[in-house]
Amino acid sequence: MKKKYFGTDGIRGCVGEGQINPEFMLRLGWAAGRVLGKHADSRVVIGKDTRISGYMFESALEAGLVASGTDIMMLGPMPTPGIAYLTRTLHAQAGIVISASHNPHNDNGIKFFSSEGKKLPDEVELAIEKQLEQPLATVESKELGKAFRVDDAAGRYIEFCKSTIPWVMNFRGLRIVVDCANGATYHIAPYVLEELGADVVAIGAEPDGLNINDGVGSTHIEHLQQAVLAHGADCGLALDGDGDRLMMVDNAGRVLDGDDILYIIARSRMANGGIKGSVVGTQMTNLGLEHALRDIDIGLERTKVGDRYIMEMLEKHGWTLGGEPSGHIICLDRTTTGDGIISALQVLAEMHSTGNSLKYLANNMEKYPQLLENVRLSGVTAEEIMASDSLKKAVAEVEAELGASGRVLLRPSGTEPLIRVMIEGQDGHQVEILTKQLAGVVRGLL
CATH of the domain at 411: 3.30.310.50
Structural domain contains residue 188: yes
Q: Are residues 105 and 219 in the same domain?
A: no
The count of structural domains within the chain is 3
pLDDT, position 7:
85
CATH number at residue 64: 3.40.120.10
Q: Are residues 357 and 423 in the same domain?
A: no
**Among 111, 129, 151, which residue terminates a domain?**
151
Structural domain contains residue 3: no
Q: Residue 429 gets which letter from DSSP?
A: H
The pTM assigned to this predicted structure is: 0.92
Among 192, 251, 191, 194, smallest CA distance to 224 is for 251
Measure the CA–CA gap between 246 and 44, rounded to whole angstroms. Answer: 27
For residue 362, which amino acid is it? A
Q: Are residues 277 and 263 in the same domain?
A: yes
Structural domain contains residue 336: yes
Q: Are residues 300 and 283 in the same domain?
A: yes
Structural domain contains residue 1: no
Q: Residue 172 gets which letter from DSSP?
A: T
pLDDT, position 239:
98
Measure the CA–CA gap between 52 and 102, rounded to whole angstroms. Answer: 15
pLDDT, position 361:
96
pLDDT, position 214:
96
Distances (CA, A) of 267 to 51, 278, 293, 294, 430: 37, 12, 8, 11, 30
Q: Are residues 344 and 418 in the same domain?
A: no
313-370 pLDDT, tens digit per residue, is 999 999 999 999 999 999 999 999 999 999 999 999 999 999 999 999 999 899 999 9
Measure the CA–CA gap between 357 and 248, rounded to whole angstroms. Answer: 13
pLDDT, position 2:
83
Structural domain contains residue 6: no
Q: Are residues 21 and 132 in the same domain?
A: yes
Structural domain contains residue 142: yes
| 68 classed as catalytic | no
Measure the CA–CA gap between 337 and 343, rounded to whole angstroms. Answer: 11
Q: Are residues 69 and 180 in the same domain?
A: no
55's CB contacts (< 8 A; 6+ apart) are none
257's CB contacts (< 8 A; 6+ apart) are 247, 325, 326, 327
Dump the DSSP string for 192-235: HHHHTT-EEEEES----SS-TTSS-STT-THHHHHHHHHHT-SE
The pairing of strands 71-77 and 43-48 is parallel
**Among 93, 122, 151, which residue terminates a domain?**
151
pLDDT, position 223:
95
Q: Are residues 416 and 317 in the same domain?
A: no
Q: Are residues 130 and 166 in the same domain?
A: no
**Among 325, 340, 362, which residue terminates a domain?**
362
Determine the structural domain holding residue 39 and report its residue range.
11-151
pLDDT, position 414:
67
Dump the DSSP string for 22-52: HHHHHHHHHHHHHHH--STT-EEEEEE-S-T
pLDDT, position 9:
82
Q: Are residues 97 and 219 in the same domain?
A: no
In order along its 446 residues, the chain shows pLDDT tens digits of: 788 999 878 999 999 999 999 999 999 999 999 998 766 568 999 999 999 999 999 999 999 999 999 999 999 999 999 999 999 999 999 999 999 999 999 999 999 999 999 988 889 999 999 999 999 999 999 999 999 999 999 999 999 999 999 999 999 999 999 999 999 999 999 999 999 999 999 999 999 999 999 999 999 999 999 999 999 999 999 999 999 999 999 999 999 999 999 999 999 999 998 898 999 999 999 999 999 999 999 999 999 988 889 999 999 999 999 999 999 999 999 999 999 999 999 999 999 999 999 999 999 899 999 999 999 988 888 899 999 999 999 999 999 999 888 999 998 876 678 899 999 999 999 999 999 999 999 999 88
CA 349 to chain centroid, in Å, comes to: 21
Q: Of the listed 101, 278, 326, 343, which one is catalytic?
A: 101
Structural domain contains residue 2: no
Q: Are residues 167 and 230 in the same domain?
A: yes
Structural domain contains residue 422: yes
Q: Are residues 254 and 277 in the same domain?
A: yes
